Structure 1
């Protein structure tokens, strides 16, 4: 008796479909595994890093209603998207923040670089170029073209702050004295009371205006203050970690992230300019 010819359970088209489905599943699994690997890799290298800073240095960095605010805070929040690290921003008086950072209790944002600090910290590339200005009372202006013009004067400045190598050397040599404090508002009130010959104010004209707006006494007497035209110094600010923390890799991740952040900021500025150009 003739046996019926064997026929495949599925047509060639159906078999090809099954093959395609299996290939698709394998591709999906492969993509899923790659995605999981990337997530795990990112989590493995990411850290939650405490970063401390000044709570009274508006508009660059300050506390507003108890929360971190300012340009440097915005940069940190943008950078953590790219670095994979989470920055726990804690603001306090600068002298305390610096002392805690030196003990390895966290990083420090807004710190100047100098030869004394260089062996102690791992520094990022500069993130902000701070303009330090000299403020005096109207009627007590003096010619200021350089540090020699401060000779013998009593000037208000931040406790624990560096104003750059040249200024720090002039202070150490006794060329002029610095009355240290924890905030720019109290410094200008001392100037107003006649307890200082001049005051150092950070963040250029914008910082000067914000300080005047920060206290009723300063607002009422704003016309009595004069900002001398020549800046004391331009002071690049950095993110830094004590070398004892061994966070050099975190600094490198931050630097790489900041390159992308600055590219984003330039693109945003270009889009805003384009919008303005289109207005009638």
Structure 2
């Protein structure tokens, strides 16, 4: 080979190598597959649809972020504790859920998605009106989420693990719980699925609004996809797409009887 061409050929090879290295950082290490996005397995955020595929608000949002960022994201329904573990350990590359200290410490925050209302739902006729009224009462809680610091840390409240918002509301309606804590949209979605009526429940105790965030795994830090996902998230928030997803998914609208007093 002509030795005068060697420097040019070397430069080309080094450039291709750098490009391949940058592309590899966008994907899971050693894999040509799309990045894995863990979607929490709680309706209306993530659940199995009529055709056997994941559907829900966060599934739709991940699809939109994938399109806008040109970073392929494969959605997988996952329990909350597992999603936290797998994103912080680089098994999955992204997740969306309520703000959590363990994810803030072990993963990379991309940005705020929205804010959701935390409420305590009560059976019809209940006289409970504040967090203090829950002392000594039995409250149904989901496994995994943390909803309200004062509630979570109060040992005087009897917290009973329940598998889903539907179970929470069914147990409330049957008198097996004094209250249930969770996200308002969880309960509204569950009520529609279980064919329950608003009249079955008293006005909820409204606690606070909590941030929902998008995180990526530590291996995604400073990668091109992390930057593009942040820009895509900013865009869908700015143009109102996230709010529209919430309105479209949750079609069972609250009535006057459930407005906080």
Instruction: Pick the aligned partner of 2:230 from 255, 258, 261.
Output: 255
Instruction: Pick the aligned partner of 1:195 from 152, 176, 179.
Output: 176
The 1:248/1:168 distance shift into structure 2, 3 A limit, reads farther
Instruction: Pick the aligned partner of 2:208 from 215, 225, 233.
Output: 233
SS at match of 1:223: helix
Is the Cα contact below 8 Å between 2:66 and 2:72 reproduced in 1? yes
Is the Cα contact below 8 Å between 2:40 and 2:83 reproduced in 1? yes
C-alpha separation in 1, matches of 2:122 and 2:94: 30
2:149 equivalent to 1:174: no
| TM-score, with length taken from structure 1 | 0.66
The 1:81/1:135 distance shift into structure 2, 3 A limit, reads same
SS at match of 2:187: helix
Partner residue in 1 for 2:113: 127
Partner residue in 2 for 1:161: 145
SS at match of 2:112: coil
What is the deviation of 1:221? 5.9
What is the deviation of 1:199? 0.6
Is the Cα contact below 8 Å between 1:150 and 1:176 reproduced in 2? yes
When the two structures are aligned, how many residues end up with a matched partner? 216
Partner residue in 1 for 2:132: 148
C-alpha separation in 2, matches of 1:53 and 1:238: 12
The 1:262/1:119 distance shift into structure 2, 3 A limit, reads closer
C-alpha separation in 1, matches of 2:99 and 2:239: 26
The 1:224/1:260 distance shift into structure 2, 3 A limit, reads closer
Structure 2: which 5+ runs fail to align? Answer: 1-15, 28-33, 245-261
C-alpha separation in 2, matches of 1:130 and 1:53: 17
| TM-score, with length taken from structure 2 | 0.70
Deviations 1:185-231 (A, max 9, x none): 011122223222101232x2x5433211212xxx2565322241x42
The 1:224/1:82 distance shift into structure 2, 3 A limit, reads closer
Partner residue in 2 for 1:276: none
C-alpha separation in 1, matches of 2:96 and 2:160: 21
Is the Cα contact below 8 Å between 1:46 and 1:86 reproduced in 2? no
Instruction: Pick the aligned partner of 2:55 from 69, 80, 99.
Output: 69
What is the deviation of 1:86? 0.7
C-alpha separation in 2, matches of 1:177 and 1:102: 30
C-alpha separation in 1, matches of 2:143 and 2:220: 27
What is the deviation of 1:175? 4.0
Q: For residues 1-280 of structure 1, what are the structure 2 equivalents within 5 Å? A: 44=23, 46-47=26-27, 48-58=34-44, 60-65=45-50, 66-144=52-130, 147-163=131-147, 167-202=148-183, 204=184, 206-215=185-194, 219=195, 222-228=198-204, 230-243=205-218, 245-249=219-223, 250-265=225-240
The 1:63/1:83 distance shift into structure 2, 3 A limit, reads same
The 1:224/1:133 distance shift into structure 2, 3 A limit, reads same
C-alpha separation in 2, matches of 1:51 and 1:94: 13
Structure 1: which 5+ runs fail to align? Answer: 1-36, 270-280
Is the Cα contact below 8 Å between 2:122 and 2:178 reproduced in 1? yes
